[in-house]
Amino acid sequence: MKNITIVGASLAGTSAAKALREDGYDGHITIVGEEICRPYDRPPLSKDILVGSKTVDEIALHDLDDLDIDWKLGTPATGLDLSQRRVRTGSEEISFDGLVIATGVRARVLAGFEPDGERVLTLRSLDDALRLRACLRSGTRVLIVGNGFIGIEVATSARSLGCNVTTVGLLEPLSAAGPIVSATCARLLARDGITSTVGRRVISMDRERGTAHLDDGGVLEFDVMVVAIGSVPNVEWFAGSGLAIEDGVLCDERCSVIGGNGVVAAGDIARWPNPTFAGRSMRIEHWANAIEQGAAAARTLLHGEQAPAFASLPSFWSDHCGVRLQSVGLPLLGDRIEFTDGAIDAEKYAVASYLDGQIIGGQTYGIPRAMAHLRIRMSQELKRKQAA
């Protein structure tokens, strides 16, 4: 391969570029990115950038300068022609021998609540975070639509800046992490003075007046609304190319894209059968996965079937209300849990989750040190399975 193109100037995309160079690839690498700025870390956007504890330069990825990359930033991909081996952008066609798809996801937009950059916002990019930061002042009424991870982290950051914060959603805060975590998070939010409106849906709003109307007839007033209702994979640019799309782009166990010779995918956009969990189909939107899968995809591009399958142990963290939530494996699939440290009443605890008597995941809330022990147990279990 003389030319490898990476579409997505993301953590997964840059991880793939670094892995290519580390594996001895000395050909041409092009990275196509929609944003005008160089790649950066996304987790700080809802926390450090909003509260001003980190600068834009501090979250930038600085270990890319020696990779000899042809950067095409501010250049979104608009199409893919596999027969001609070309990626289309608004201004040119980029030829490739090998292709890495790493275009990630975008914030889901609620019909009728489209972001305007002033009164209604979403949070996915650095520009989003900077726009939101400019709106957050003491006394500002902030309404978060959505009780997921981004919504709760933004709520916490806004509250720390003196904003009056309300969240609204159909589900309890952080319900995706399970009922135990959700109940603890709800107590922490209340203690921090954040109002949570649960079981309700926003059906309309008056942007000029700053009023949101709920499905039960209730009305919430706001100065700034942040819509945080999940994400959508960025697959439109290769629609019609023949690649398999199903809530992301479908890959095999080595991250090779189904229907694309010499095409791999990594990060938030990639759905693949994870050998760690008996080939369970997964698409993981977390920082560690982007790094690991980007490197795995690069190895597959260079070595084909000689490359190992990408067997991932999913993990993530969330900082909110002054504590850290951590998760490893698939704890919500368990049929039994065991508290290994702390206690619910103390709102600091570690939990191991079991399925058919075998550990399948774990969570820690407010006890970061306990995660190392859970990871070791998970790794031991996986090695035991592989040896059996």
CATH code at 251?
A: 3.50.50.60
Checking DSSP bridges between strand 202-206 and strand 211-214, what pairing results, if any?
antiparallel
Residues 120, 100 within the same domain:
no
Helix (H) or strand (E) holding 263: strand 263-265
Q: What is the mean pLDDT of residues 170-177?
A: 95
- CA pair distance 292, 16, nearest whole angstrom: 9
Question: Mean of the pLDDT values across residues 118-135?
Answer: 96
Residue 60 lies in a domain: yes
Mean pLDDT of all residues in 328-353: 94
Amino acid in the structure at residue 129: A
Whole-number average pLDDT of the chain = 95
The pLDDT, as a whole number, for residue 87 is: 98
Check if the beta carbon of residue 272 is closer than 8 Å to that of residue 261.
Answer: no
**Pair (208, 254) in one structural domain:** no
What is the distance between the alpha carbons of residues 89 and 285, in angstroms, rounded to a whole number?
Answer: 25
Residue 248, helix vs strand vs coil: coil
Q: Is residue 208 one of the residues assigned to a domain? A: yes
Q: Does residue 182 share a domain with residue 119? A: yes
Q: Quote the pTM value.
A: 0.95
| Residue 312, domain member (yes or no) | no
Provide the CATH number for the domain around residue 340: 3.30.390.30
Q: Does residue 42 come out as left (phi exceeding 0), alpha (psi in the -120 to 50 range) or beta?
A: alpha
Is 342 found in the same domain as 357? yes
Region 320-347: what's the mean pLDDT? 94
The count of other CB atoms within 10 Å of the CB of residue 56 is 13
Which of 204, 227, 250 is at the close of a domain?
A: 227
Q: Is the pLDDT of residue 339 over 70?
A: yes
Q: Which domain holds residue 193?
A: 109-227
Average pLDDT over residues 158-164: 98
Residues of the chain with pLDDT > 90, as a percent, come to 91
Average pLDDT over residues 80-91: 95
Helix (H, G, I), strand (E, B) or coil at 160: helix
Q: Residue 316 domain-assigned? A: no
pLDDT by residue (tens digit) across 18-40? 999 999 999 999 999 999 998 99
CA–CA distance, 152 with 46 (Å, rounded to integer)? 9
Domain count, the chain: 3
What pLDDT is recorded for position 383?
A: 76
Residue 221 lies in a domain: yes
User: What does the alpha-carbon distance between residue 336 and residue 174 come to, in Å, rounded to a whole number?
Assistant: 20
CA distances from 146 to 38, 123, 153, 183, 200 (A): 29, 12, 11, 16, 10
136-160 per-position pLDDT tens digit = 999 999 999 999 999 999 999 999 9
- Bridge-based pairing of strands 141-145 and 164-169 is parallel
Instruction: Please report the pLDDT score of residue 379 as a whole number.
Output: 83
Of the listed ranges 8-12, 142-146, 237-241, 378-382, the one predicted with least confidence: 378-382
pLDDT(213) > 80: yes
